Amino acid sequence: MDEISLTVPDAIVESLPADGEDAARDMHRAVEGWEERLNRAIEDGEDEDAAGAVVDALERFENRWEQYDDFVAELRAWGQSPIYAMAWRDLMGSLMRQLYDHEDLGERIDRERHARLVSDGIRPGR
């Protein structure tokens, strides 16, 4: 499996308010950390182990996407700006897309997810 390269899209950084440098820096650090962990898993493990690490990361990103999306609604309800929650939510969505778009990774992700469904006792088509 080839090395993974993840980025923070410019559009997300540009969507932050003028005082959002700290948030942008935090996003870049977080993405660098996730990229490093995934590449270490790819380097250290077999393809199946690497695919498992990628699916674990995807599940984490999906959970965080949902949390940030909930924060957006809550912040709006309280009359506060949801811009940072929206930026982090959008970053999670972008990272998920980047992983699926990475060369042959999408196919491996699907296989790993299907294997997890079967091992959990859930059968597709029931």
**pLDDT digits over 18-69, tens only?**
999 999 999 999 999 999 999 998 888 777 778 889 999 999 999 999 999 9
The pLDDT value given to residue 126? 47
| Res. 95 pLDDT band, cuts 50 70 90 | very high
Closest CA to 61 of 22, 21, 108, 95: 95
Asked, for residue 57, whether it belongs to a domain, the answer is: yes
Q: What is the pLDDT averaged over residues 92-115?
A: 84
Q: What are the backbone angles phi and psi of residue 81, rounded to the nearest 5°?
A: -75, 130
- The residue segments making up the domain with residue 49 are 22-119
Contacts of 83 (CB under 8 A, 6+ apart): 15, 16, 17, 20
Asked, for residue 89, whether it belongs to a domain, the answer is: yes
**For the chain, what percent of residues have pLDDT higher than 70?**
92
Asked, for residue 60, whether it belongs to a domain, the answer is: yes
**For the chain, what percent of residues have pLDDT higher than 90?**
63
The pLDDT value given to residue 102? 84
* Residue that the structure tokens 């390269």 belong to: 5
The pLDDT value given to residue 3? 87
Convert 60-78 to b/e letters by CB count within 10 Å (16 or more is b): ebeebbeebbebbeebeee
- Find the distance separating the first CA and the last CA of the chain, reported in whole Å: 33
pTM of the model: 0.84
Work out how many domains the chain is built from and give that number. 1
Asked, for residue 3, whether it belongs to a domain, the answer is: no
Asked, for residue 4, whether it belongs to a domain, the answer is: no
Asked, for residue 14, whether it belongs to a domain, the answer is: no
Q: 124 pLDDT exceeds 80?
A: no
